[in-house]
Every structure is written in C-alpha cells, then in structure tokens.
Structure 1
Amino acid sequence: MFLPVHERFIHQAKEKLSQDQRVRGLLAGGSMMTNTMDEYSDLDLIIVYNSAYQDQIMNQRITIAEGLGKLLSGFTGEHIGEPRVVICLYGPEPLHVDLKFVTLEELEIRIENPLILWERAQEISSIYEKTSPSHPYPDAQWIEDRFWVWVHYGATKLGRGEWFEFIDHLTFIRGAVLGPLVLIKNGQLPRGVRKLEQYAISEIEELKNTVPSHHFESCYHALKSTIDLYKSLRQQSDTLVLKDEAEQVSIAYLDKVYASSDH
C-alpha cells in the first residue's frame, strides 16, 4: 500500500536531490523495493553520490535530510554500526525515513538491487549490469563457537536473578541465531526476526517458547527451548566442528542452577 505521504516525500526528494550535482541517484530498499508496503511502512532510501565529495556529503548528512521535508528529528546511525545512515522522523504527518548515503563505488558491493527511483546518466543502471548483489548468510561455525558460551552466560544471569539482562540476552540470540536460521529454512533471506510471524508458520510455537516473562521458571524454560530449537536448526556438515563438551558443560550448569534454586 503506497500512501500519499510516501508519494509526496519521494516526489519532493527526487526534485530536491536532482538539483544537487554531487548526487547521482536515489534508490529505494525495504518494503518499497519488494512491493510489500503497508500503512505502517517507513521509507528506506539510498542517496548515491560522487565519491569526490565524500567528506563534504558526510559532514552535511543532517543538512541534506533537512532539505527534503519538515525534519522533526534526525540522527546518524553509529549506534547500529552504520554512520552513513540518517534516521529521520518527518512531519507534520509522521513519516519514518532512513536515508543511507553511499558512493557509486560503494554501490558495487551490495546485498540487493534497490529500486532505482531516479538516476543521472544511467550510472547506477550501469553498475547493476556489471556487478551482482550478494546477501551475507550466517556462518554455522561462528554460531556454534559462541552459542554454548552464550548459554552459560544466560545461566549465570538466571542464577543471579538478573532477569531483565537474561531476557535481553535471549532476545539477542533470537535475532542473531534463531530468526535467521528459521528464515533460511523457510526459503527467506536471514533478516533477523523480520516477518517471522509470516514465514515461520511451522516453527512459530517453538519460537514463542523462547520468549520468557520476568520470572525464574519462565526464563529457565525459555533458555531450554532456545537450546532445543537451535539444535534442531543446526545444519550438520563435514566442515562444522561441534563443540560437544562446551554443550554438555553449559547445559549441565544451567540445569544445576535450576535445581539449586527455590523456584
């Protein structure tokens, strides 16, 4: 569903940016790219520019964002490891827009082909023709090497009664491990926990069991469910080295914490 507020902003952005000779194009990712927008969708826009102006553009990110509409609040994305992004709330009708600033050269290495809304001299189309996108997938060994350490860490938080910390910890594991693996199993790209309700029909109950309430018993069973789901999703291969001893030790410790508590 393409709302008038989306259409107005994109029209204004194209008009403003096309007047800046440093800017070479405007792209759209996210739900606009996949034609799955609804009334709650934000805009994921990519501003492509000439790398000769990189320092200048990066210093003017907020100013450029201010020029595209009534910017109520905006900040750069260092907290998510992406300083090229400006996260914006425009008004008066509220609209969330993520503006990502990339050079033509940076666009050559990408995870997808964003929709071209406007470009100068077919420069972006030419890059698309010469290069291909590549979406990163989880590294099974990277996960296995860390998972049982994360289980032990969760058990220590459980035993100490730091349940808010524990809940955040399981949320991280769900986003970094379970969500991506479930999405891959269901033929989707591994985008954290995005749209699991839509794609993870057969695993939805198992996933719900990994969400604890602020209570010892609930936290313990949520971690046990997390372990069970990971083991069912973990793909065996000749190259994957299982951390069997770490698995046994961490689970035994978790069960010891549970058994020794007055729950």
Structure 2
Amino acid sequence: MIPKIHQDFIDKTIQLLKYDCRILGVAAGGSYITNSLDEFSDIDLIIAVESSCYEQIMKERKEIAGKLGNLLSAFTGEHVGEPRLLICLYGPPLLHVDLKFVALADIGKRVEDPVILWERDNAITDALKLGEAKFPAPDLQWIEDRFWVWIHYGTVKIGRGEIFEAIEFISFMRQTVIGPLLLMKNGKLPRGVRKIETDAPNDLFMLKETIATYDAKSCVRAIQGIIRLYVDLRDQLSDNELIRRSEAEKYTKDYLNEIRNRLTIHLRN
C-alpha cells in the first residue's frame, strides 16, 4: 500500500504534466520499484522529455516543480553526480520528492528499471528497450589501490589528536568501502549503507565494531574493525587477478599498532 500523501502527489503530478506536450512520460524508481515505499520514503520520479525540448525544460524545471505542490525548497543534484536531478521538499505535510528530468534519448542509460506510471505512445517503453539497467558495482582493484593510503590517513589524524576528522574518516570508509562490499556479499545493490540493517542483518555485529566514539582508542578499534571486515570481504569477493598491495597493508597495519601503543603508554603516564 502506497501512503496516501505519496499517491496523491503522484496522481497530481501525472495529471498536470499530461498537459505539457514536451513531456512524454513519468516513471518511478527507488522503493516504488520494490513496493517497499512507506511513510518515511521519498518519491523518485523520472520525467521523460522530448529531446529537442530538453534544454528548455531544464531552464523551467523549478517552475514546473512549483506547480506540483507547495514547494518549500529545491536544489539540483550536482553533489551526488546527477545535475539532471531536482531535489524538492514539499509541504506541509512534508514530502521529499526527487524529480529527474531525462531526455528521451537517454532513458535507456539507467541503473534500475523504473515503473512506468504514464507515457505517450509507448515513448518510455520503447526507449528502455535500447539499453539494459546496470547498477555500478565497486571496482575491487580501485578500492585496494586506495584502501591502505586511506587507512594511513585516518591513523595520522588519530595520532595528531584530530578526533572529529578521524570519526568522519571512519564514516567515509563505511559508506564508500565496507557498506557496498557487505551489500554485494549479500546479493544486494551496493548502495553505501542504505537499508543495510535489513539487507545484511547477519553482518551487523561486525559493522557495529566500526563505530567510534569521541575517543582516540575507540577510533583505533573502529579502524581495526574496518580492516578486518575489508580483508575478509576482499578475499571473498575478489579473484586471482586482484593485485594486493601487500607491503602497503603490512606497513600500514604496523603503523596503526604503533599509534595504538603510544596511546596506551600515554594513558598509563
């Protein structure tokens, strides 16, 4: 069951956009696809635009969004690498809506297969046939080449006493490396740590060990937890072609142990 506030917005959006001949259809992504949309969900809408009118629509998209409801705020999605995205907050009651305006010629390039809510003359249906959905998987070699440099960076911050920076670093490693790999291991899309509580429930006890408090020794333990998880996941998910940065791994682990020992000696004194 789709919450009423969500369904009402979708229905109103379709009815209004039908009157704009430059718009060829509306589809839904995200949790709408898996029928898991709840009261806390946002709405992910893909708005298919006639390619020849795309630039014009992009200039008017905030105005278009304003017609769909009481628009409180809106901004574009460059920070997530998606400038076509308009991130909107409507209300009250508050509702987060992502409107992605896509030229019809580009509809086939996608990370998931959306649910078509309305279209003109099978425009979206036909465009989707020109490509396949492909969610980008983490590149294990790309991660391995960077992982131990990252770990050294976080260790240095602990050694210098920059604990807030260390905590942010640990969060970055969960979001960028550990979360996606855990989700891959569980056969789920590697979307950071999104819904990891339900998608990887058997691994949560290990993931909790990567959470640090404002304490240097806690940060060291969290980084050690990240290393243990990463090495285990790397060995499970990689093949013989992966080039392991073994020297970087050894010396970085040794340095982390050195910083841990310094902290222990400092506390004793």
Using the size of structure 1 for normalisation, the TM-score is: 0.97
- CA deviations on 1:89-132 (whole Å, 9 max, x unpaired) are 10121111011111111111111110001111101111223432
Show the counterpart of 1:34. Answer: 34
Distance between the aligned counterparts of 1:55 and 1:233, measured in 2?
Answer: 44
Write the letter of the residue equivalent to 1:149.
V
- CA deviations on 1:5-53 (whole Å, 9 max, x unpaired) are 1111011100111111111111100111110111111101111101212
- CA deviations on 1:135-172 (whole Å, 9 max, x unpaired) are 11111100100100000000011111111111111111
SS of equivalent residue, structure 2 residue 129: helix
Equivalenced residue count is 263
When structure 1 is superposed on structure 2, of 232-241 and 143-152 the one drifting more is 232-241
Write the letter of the residue equivalent to 1:122.
N
Runs of 5+ unmatched residues, structure 1: none
Show the counterpart of 1:247. Answer: 249
Match of 2:258 among 240, 256, 261: 256
1:66-105 to 2 correspondences below 5 Å = 66-105=66-105
Distance between the aligned counterparts of 1:198 and 1:192, measured in 2?
Answer: 13
Identity of aligned residues (%): 48
SS of equivalent residue, structure 1 residue 61: helix
Distance between the aligned counterparts of 2:238 and 2:107, measured in 1?
Answer: 35
Distance between the aligned counterparts of 1:100 and 1:34, measured in 2?
Answer: 19
Show the counterpart of 2:225. Answer: 225
SS of equivalent residue, structure 2 residue 107: helix
Distance between the aligned counterparts of 2:88 and 2:23, measured in 1?
Answer: 19
Runs of 5+ unmatched residues, structure 2: none
When structure 1 is superposed on structure 2, of 52-61 and 148-157 the one drifting more is 52-61
Show the counterpart of 1:117. Answer: 117
Is 2:140–2:238's contact at 8 Å kept on the other side of the alignment? Answer: no
Write the letter of the residue equivalent to 2:74.
G
Write the letter of the residue equivalent to 1:28.
A
SS of equivalent residue, structure 1 residue 202: helix
Distance between the aligned counterparts of 1:181 and 1:92, measured in 2?
Answer: 38
2:169 aligned with 1:169: yes
